[in-house]
């Protein structure tokens, strides 16, 4: 019998990745990839173009039975009544809506926001971008007829909808991505339209189309005559929830993802509401919850440091492992793009502890890795304060592929570190969702471990970092 194939997409900040898996075993049979433009403001058409290229690179969809799209969370895709994208999307890492976030929080209060949505507004969340639009571009805000997130919009386009076929009612999403908007009642599973209206500075948002929220096993199809007619299309997910699904993470697992963003998150049975705003009380892609801490500065801290030192990532890792834990007192507070956790949208990076002795290439390479990991370790502490148990940390994302990052993670974190086999876990999770939509059952595919760096906790690293906070 022929293999049944399912596909998963990760439309992430820097690129679009596609995996095609065998439904039976989960084995990856084909992959594809295409780059996204730089910048924190991107026209969604660029994602569509990249998805088209990545799908072709992965051999197309002709022999594929089902697909789901995971994607970077929070980006604001505002559509007018004709289905046209009103302006380039503001991404999760665009901090221009920091004042809007502060205003929304002041108006309602952090406690009430957390109780109603699971989150307290920061510049990343969609609601703050809509408030920025209402304040900075009122003529654009007045045109908003629908608001989608990157993955919802790509799912809609994949089904043949768009400016040529603008059926806004056909937009669909899932709980995980909806929970990152700050106008979704994550515990209850429904939109909070009063908060949407507040964000848009409208009296009512009843006439604004929001994507219908599908359950984990639900699906839609491409309409008859569309290029995806007959293809089963799953709900899709926010990228972090997609990774949790791809990793088959269960209570006790904490995922640490080092991509463009740094994220620390856990799958929990109950919702988390943190009025301090440090932990975002998101939903996952399976019906559970996904308390998450995100930093804006992660893999690109290493990209920047490698560039500065004139080396590639392998050499950066080699240099870092030549230095002693603590980098002889050199501490990099890596807020290159402002920061979200802690909430310092206007911050810049700072290098502390420079002496003639400490200022070496080796120490700088290590300080970069230590700095980004210390931010994530603070995130782990914040999640633990909500009763989450970290039996092991699953290290994923582009930078997790660097052996120096995993070795130093075992020194920074006080929990066992496991590095799963390098893979595109968001796309793998989206493919799992496609399989779930196709069969009605969550697939039981296995995840291989690549390494488990020996426990080597060195408290000095975080002590030094915290002293500079």
Ligand X SMILES: Nc1ncnc2c1ncn2[C@@H]1O[C@H](COP(=O)(O)OP(=O)(O)O)[C@@H](O)[C@H]1O
Active site residue ranges: 239
Residues 6+ apart with CB under 8 A from 179: 117, 118, 119, 186, 238, 281, 282, 283, 290
Tokens (6 digits) for 335: 């807020």
CA atoms in the 13 A half-sphere facing the CB of 161: 22
For residue 222 the two structure tokens come to 């491409």
Residues in binding contact with ligand X, number by CB under 6 A:
16
Name the minimum Å distance from CB 294 to ligand 5SP.
4
Nearest approach in angstroms of CB 202 to ligand 5SP is 25
CB-nearer residue toward ligand 5SP: 11 or 333: 11
DSSP string, 295-345: ES-SHHHHHHHHHHHT--HHHHHHHHHHSPTTGGG-EEE--BTBBTTTTBT
Partners of residue 395 on adjacent β-strands: 256
DSSP string, 393-423: EEEESGGGGSHHHHHHHHHH-SS-EEEEPS-
Q: For the range 306-310, what are the long-range contacts, defined as Cβ-Cβ under 8 Å and sequence gap of 24 or more?
A: 308/364, 309/361, 309/364, 309/365
Among 303, 337, 362, 370, binds ligand X (CB under 6 A): 303
Of 166, 292, 177, give the one whose Cα is nearest residue 234: 177
CB of 238 to ligand 5SP, least distance (A): 6
- Residue 92 interacts with, from ligand 5SP, ligand X, none (CB under 5-8 Å by kind): ligand 5SP
With respect to ligand X, which residue has the nearer C-beta, 116 or 300?
300
The reply, when asked if residue 73 is annotated as ligand binding, is yes
Per rule CB under 6 A, is residue 239 in the interface with ligand 5SP?
A: yes
Q: How far is the CB of 86 from ligand X (least distance, A)?
A: 25
Using CB under 6 A, pick the residue from 64, 73, 256, 395 that binds ligand 5SP: 73
> Is 151 strand, coil or helix?
helix
Which of ligand 5SP, ligand X, none does 464 bind, CB closer than 5 to 8 A by kind? none
433 is in an annotated binding site: no
Q: What is the C-alpha to C-alpha distance for residues 450 and 413, in angstroms, rounded to an integer?
A: 18
Stretch that binds ligand X, among 13-21, 93-101, 118-126, 196-204 (CB under 6 A): 13-21
- The region of 22-30, 67-75, 353-361, 367-375 touching ligand 5SP under the rule CB under 6 A is 67-75
Establish how many alpha carbons lie within 13 A of residue 82's alpha carbon, considering only the half-sphere containing its beta carbon. Answer: 4
CA distance 281 to 110: 13
Q: Which stretch binds ligand X (CB under 6 A): 8-16, 144-152, 287-295, 446-454?
A: 8-16
Candidates 95, 126, 128, 260: give the one binding ligand 5SP (CB under 6 A).
Answer: 260
Q: Of the two residues 278 and 402, which places its CB atom closer to ligand X in the complex?
A: 402
Does residue 186 touch ligand 5SP according to CB under 6 A?
A: no
Tell whether residue 299 is a contact of ligand X (CB under 6 A).
yes
Would you tell me which residues interact with ligand 5SP (CB under 6 A)? 12-13, 72-74, 92, 124, 180, 238-240, 259-261, 263, 292, 294
Would you tell me which residues interact with ligand X (CB under 6 A)? 12-15, 259-260, 299-300, 302-303, 313, 397-399, 401-402
């Amino acid at each position: 019998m022929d293999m049944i194939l399912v596909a998963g997409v990760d439309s992430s900040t820097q690129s679009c990745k596609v995996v095609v898996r065998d439904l039976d075993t989960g084995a990856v049979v084909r992959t594809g990839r295409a780059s996204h433009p730089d910048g924190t403001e991107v026209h969604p058409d660029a994602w569509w173009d990249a998805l088209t290229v990545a799908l072709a690179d992965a051999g197309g969809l002709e022999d594929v039975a089902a697909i789901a799209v995971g994607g970077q969370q929070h980006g604001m895709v505002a559509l007018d009544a004709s289905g046209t994208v009103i302006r380039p999307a503001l991404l999760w890492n665009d901090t221009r809506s920091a004042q809007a976030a502060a205003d929304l929080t002041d108006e309602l209060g952090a406690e009430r926001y957390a109780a109603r949505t699971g989150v307290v507004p920061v510049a990343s969340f969609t609601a703050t971008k809509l408030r920025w639009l209402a304040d900075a571009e009122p003529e654009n805000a007045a045109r908003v007829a629908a608001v989608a997130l990157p993955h919802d919009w790509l799912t809609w386009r994949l089904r043949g909808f768009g400016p040529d076929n603008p059926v806004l009612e056909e937009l669909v999403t899932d709980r995980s991505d909806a929970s990152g908007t700050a106008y979704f009642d994550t515990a209850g599973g429904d939109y909070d339209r009063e908060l949407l209206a507040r964000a848009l500075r409208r009296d009512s948002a009843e006439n604004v189309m929001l994507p219908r929220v599908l359950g984990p096993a639900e699906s839609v199809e491409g309409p008859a005559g569309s290029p995806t007619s007959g293809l089963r299309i799953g709900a899709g997910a926010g990228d972090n929830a997609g990774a949790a699904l791809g990793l088959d993470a269960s209570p006790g697992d904490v995922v640490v993802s080092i991509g463009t963003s740094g994220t620390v998150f856990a799958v929990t049975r109950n919702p988390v509401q943190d009025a301090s705003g440090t932990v975002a009380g998101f939903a996952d892609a399976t019906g559970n919850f996904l308390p998450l801490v995100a930093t804006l500065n992660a893999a690109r801290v290493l990209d920047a440091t490698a560039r500065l030192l004139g080396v590639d990532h392998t050499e950066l890792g080699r240099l870092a492992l030549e230095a002693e834990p603590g980098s002889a007192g050199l501490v990099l507070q890596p807020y290159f793009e402002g920061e979200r956790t802690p909430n310092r949208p206007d911050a810049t990076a700072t290098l502390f502890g420079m002496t003639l002795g400490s200022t070496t290439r080796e120490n700088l390479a290590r300080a970069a890795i230590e700095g980004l990991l210390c931010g994530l370790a603070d995130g782990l502490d914040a999640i633990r304060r909500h009763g989450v148990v970290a039996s092991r940390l699953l290290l994923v994302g582009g930078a997790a592929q660097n052996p120096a990052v995993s070795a130093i993670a075992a020194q920074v974190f006080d929990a066992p570190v496991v590095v799963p086999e390098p893979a595109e876990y968001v796309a793998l999770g989206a493919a799992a969702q496609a399989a779930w939509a196709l069969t009605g059952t969550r697939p039981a595919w296995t995840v291989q471990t690549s390494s488990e760096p020996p426990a080597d906790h060195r408290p000095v690293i975080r002590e030094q970092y915290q002293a500079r906070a």
